[in-house]
Chain A
């Protein structure tokens, strides 16, 4: 276990280091940030001064090391638009996105797993066909269209729910449903096929023939074993959840990092976009590491392979 843990942690570290390199190189390819920071009509001397102040006249490797040194301390430079540290801006907006993503994920799990189980135990019967049809439609559903339709029905026509901003629990409902559709469909699909693979296995049949109640057999014996692929896919879904959050936040004017990113692009506020990209990717890497480690605890076979 110790060696497996060490190897996975090292791998994740390498990924994060590579990530900073990629972001650094792309950032440097974007041209001289000095032009964006100076007012129009600045003199050549001012330009040279700022270039020197920012260390942009030094060779790339030196710049990279400095960039890392600062990034480790949480310094991603100043936002060009808000004149505040980029990191601070991102951290300020992060809780709103985390709340939205977390509630969506809980919704997706709470609905997706039971639906998957239902389809599996009703395999090739009405219940299964209803769930699989729903999954097929859900996979084709553009989540942002779902969001707009929810706004149209519950916000505009019925007037039940607020459609923009963060004003307490009621304003979280529509964005959370919008963002949960992709993970919900995926979780239901994976749970279904994993359960279909598990139910005919010998240990399930043994439990059943011992005369255990069917509900117990499904929950204790089949579901526990069927959940490992589901946990894996939840790890994979995290990155998608953050991507989806960018669009969902834009639809509902939700004050998270997604809408911050869009505002920053329009202002060509590079340090902020850079900070958002690095921070969210690090979160994804960290979360995947946790998922890997958690199911290696559940299933000893994974550690050995």
Chain B
């Protein structure tokens, strides 16, 4: 514990940007955690309080209300929770698919490898949003589908990284040692290759998470993401666009929140990557 505290202290002193990012991310995590307490304000429709401008601290609706009289701040906080959960789940699913596919194809090589490379080339050529739209037209919408669709558009990068690392790893002594001791392919992949591929997959996930948050917001903006009446930062912005002349606050605050969240995740992720990978520290300076 003491070592961890000391390590964290030196990390944040070396990367002040990351400390700033960590504070932002922490605030958002707390907000996501308390979001269920605000459910009634976020969903309760009121005909009287429609499109009320921000009251700041002079009334109950700090950031005003939307076209159905729901409290904007409460909807934003619930939206942050939903956006974060979708992004986290999508990154985990994408990473898991990508690492498994990448390790298998890198380890066995030959035709499995060629097939994977061509498949990822192909999927990466389809413009992301169109790919997501195309798949969603087939499987329908909903939060679970959304997670699945985002993962389906993101696993390729993980697969390529895992494949490249596995290609190198399988030539190393510890692999031939295990193999000559009679370990099966599966065992070698699980206990020799996988643990060594994991760090770079995690590094990739730290970049990917903010991208996925933006992708989810974009899809929700198009009405293809989190289904209504559940709020998401993206669908809140779509409503803001609709009422831009009468109620600009509906667009200003959800968007600023989204930007702050992505900024925090990016700053923390950049710092973590530089800290974990000394090579990138040299490259970036």
Contacts and interface: CB of A to CB of B under 8 A. Distances in A.
A148 B237 contact: yes
B245 A156 contact: yes
Give the secondary structure class of B's interface.
helix
Interface stretch (B73-81, B166-174, B250-258): B250-258
Contacts of A142: 214, 217-218, 237, 255, 258-259, 262
Interface string B207-233: 000100010011001111000000000
B50 interface: no
B276 interface: no
Q: How large is the interface on A (under 10, 10 to 19, 20 to 34, 35 or more residues)?
A: 35 or more
Nearest to A279: B130
A148 B241 contact: yes
A268 B138 CA distance: 10
A140 B262 contact: yes
B248 A268 contact: no
Contact of B134 (A11, A242, A251, A277): A277
Contact of A265 (B131, B137, B234, B262): B137
Contacts of A54: none
Contacts of A247: 129, 218, 221-222
Contacts of B133: 246, 261, 265, 273
A273 B137 contact: yes
A277 B259 contact: no
B240 interface: yes
Interface stretch (B63-71, B96-104, B120-128, B177-185): B120-128
A246 B234 CA distance: 15
A156 B244 contact: yes
Interface in A231-246: 239-240, 242-244, 246
A15 interface: yes
Contacts of B267: 136
Given A142-B258, A247-B222, A277 B130 contact: yes
Contacts of B283: 193
A259 to B, nearest CB: 10
A29 B241 CA distance: 35
A141 B259 contact: yes
A239 to B, nearest CB: 5
A284 interface: yes
A148 B251 contact: yes
Interface stretch (A18-26, A38-46, A76-84, A217-225): A18-26
A203 interface: no
Nearest to B135: A26
Contacts of A261: 130, 133
Interface in A14-60: 14-15, 18-19, 22-23, 26-27, 29-30
Nearest to A276: B130
A280 B248 contact: no
A296 interface: no
Interface in A258-294: 261-262, 265, 268, 270, 273-274, 276-277, 280-281, 284-285, 288
A298 B217 CA distance: 39
A243 B129 contact: yes
Given A144-B221, A148-B244, A242-B130, A284 B137 contact: no
A302 interface: no
B136 to A, nearest CB: 8
A145 interface: yes
Contacts of A193: 283-284
Residue among B137, B218, B237 facing the most chain A CB atoms (10 A cut-off): B137
A305 B122 CA distance: 22
Nearest to A257: B130
B255 A277 contact: no
12 contacts: A18-B118, A136-B267, A139-B210, A144-B221, A148-B241, A148-B244, A250-B221, A273-B137, A277-B134, A281-B126, A281-B130, A284-B125
Given A142-B217, A152-B251, 6 more contacts: A30-B138, A144-B237, A152-B248, A246-B222, A251-B241, A261-B130
Top 6 A-B pairs, shortest CB-CB distance: A145-B255, A140-B263, A243-B129, A242-B127, A30-B138, A140-B262
Interface of B: 118-119, 121-131, 133-138, 210, 214, 217-218, 221-224, 234, 237, 240-241, 244-245, 248, 251-252, 255-256, 258-260, 262-263, 266-267, 283-284
